[in-house]
């Protein structure tokens, strides 16, 4: 039985003046899978996820989530449907504590008592191994730990699709190992679209990989298929 796609994009394009940043992209993300999106700098990855999350309007094409068209829906409406997106540049509130940051995200989803909100907050922080620092000021965290806090804010929304844009940037090697285990655990609860430059992370965690180059899909396949693809080697992975 074929997997059901939680998100489908058909013929999606985005033009900024004379620049065609995303060019006629078709993308299918099966429910319950980890899909990685890779490509050289300037390939259009962040623009594409901006289109999928509703933060950037599409010039052309259609986007469907769980079978319903969402092409014209703004970002906050897509969040309400179950799409969470963590930014390539952290968007935490630096003067608030870790738990206050996550509580803001929880309250967007959940109308509940403070006790129930705090339970959800601590559960999300525990998953990224930051529960012991819940009362610290977010701005005092290292950049890598700020990335983990933002992931906690994303997963606290209980998304059906979690989009992670460069989540391992700034993480130490030991933290990346823990991140890989975290992603695999999260995949039991959410479909994941992972935009990532660290190829070790991609090859270890992704079920399928989509490769962008100059705004177009260059290749799609399993990690093994992508590693062996000559066009991908030439454009991105290196032929050596």
Residue 3 lies in a domain: no
Residue 78 lies in a domain: no
- DSSP symbols for 63-77: EEETTEE-TT--HHH
Q: What is the pLDDT averaged over residues 69-94?
A: 86
> In this predicted model, what pLDDT tens digit does every residue of 98-135 receive, in sequence order?
999 999 989 888 777 888 899 999 999 999 999 999 99
Domain count of the chain? 1
Separation CA 42–CA 236 (nearest Å): 12
Which one is predicted more confidently, 240 or 30? 30
Give the pTM: 0.88
Separation CA 161–CA 111 (nearest Å): 21
Residue 144 lies in a domain: yes
Residue 117 lies in a domain: yes
- For residue 142, the SS3 value is coil
Residue 226 lies in a domain: no
Separation CA 157–CA 101 (nearest Å): 12
Separation CA 105–CA 173 (nearest Å): 28
Q: Tell me the pairing of strands 19-30 and 161-165.
A: unpaired
> In this predicted model, what pLDDT tens digit does every residue of 19-51 receive, in sequence order?
999 999 999 999 999 999 999 888 999 999 999
Residue 177 lies in a domain: no
Among candidate residues 235, 228, 216, 226, the one with its CA nearest the CA of residue 26 = 216
> In this predicted model, what pLDDT tens digit does every residue of 133-161 receive, in sequence order?
999 999 999 988 998 999 999 999 899 99
Contacts of 36 (CB under 8 A, 6+ apart): 193, 194, 195, 196, 202, 205, 206, 208, 209, 210
Residue 139 lies in a domain: yes
The single-letter DSSP state of residue 44 is S
Question: Domain containing 135: what range?
Answer: 92-156
Q: Count CB atoms within 10 A of the CB of residue 238.
A: 9
């Amino acid at each position: 039985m074929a997997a059901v796609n939680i998100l489908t994009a058909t013929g999606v394009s985005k033009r900024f003046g004379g620049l065609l940043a995303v060019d006629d992209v078709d993308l299918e993300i099966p429910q319950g899978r980890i899909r990685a999106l890779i490509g050289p700098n300037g390939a259009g990855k962040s623009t594409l996820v901006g289109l999928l999350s509703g933060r950037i309007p599409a010039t052309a094409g259609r986007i469907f989530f769980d079978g319903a068209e969402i092409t014209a829906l703004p970002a906050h409406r897509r969040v309400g449907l179950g799409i969470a997106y963590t930014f390539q540049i952290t968007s935490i509130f630096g003067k608030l504590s870790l738990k206050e940051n996550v509580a803001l995200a929880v309250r967007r989803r959940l109308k509940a008592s403070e006790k129930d909100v705090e339970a959800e907050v601590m559960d999300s922080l525990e998953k990224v191994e930051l529960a012991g620092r819940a009362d610290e000021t977010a701005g005092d965290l290292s950049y890598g730990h700020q990335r983990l806090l933002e992931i906690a804010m994303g997963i606290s929304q209980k998304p059906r699709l979690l989009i992670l844009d460069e989540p391992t940037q700034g993480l130490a090697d030991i933290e990346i190992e823990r991140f890989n285990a975290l992603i695999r655990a999260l995949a039991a609860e959410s479909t994941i679209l992972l935009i990532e430059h660290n190829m070790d992370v991609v090859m270890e965690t992704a079920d399928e990989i989509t490769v962008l180059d100059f705004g177009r899909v260059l290749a799609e396949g399993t990690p093994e298929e992508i590693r062996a693809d000559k066009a991908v080697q030439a454009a991105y992975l290196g032929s050596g």
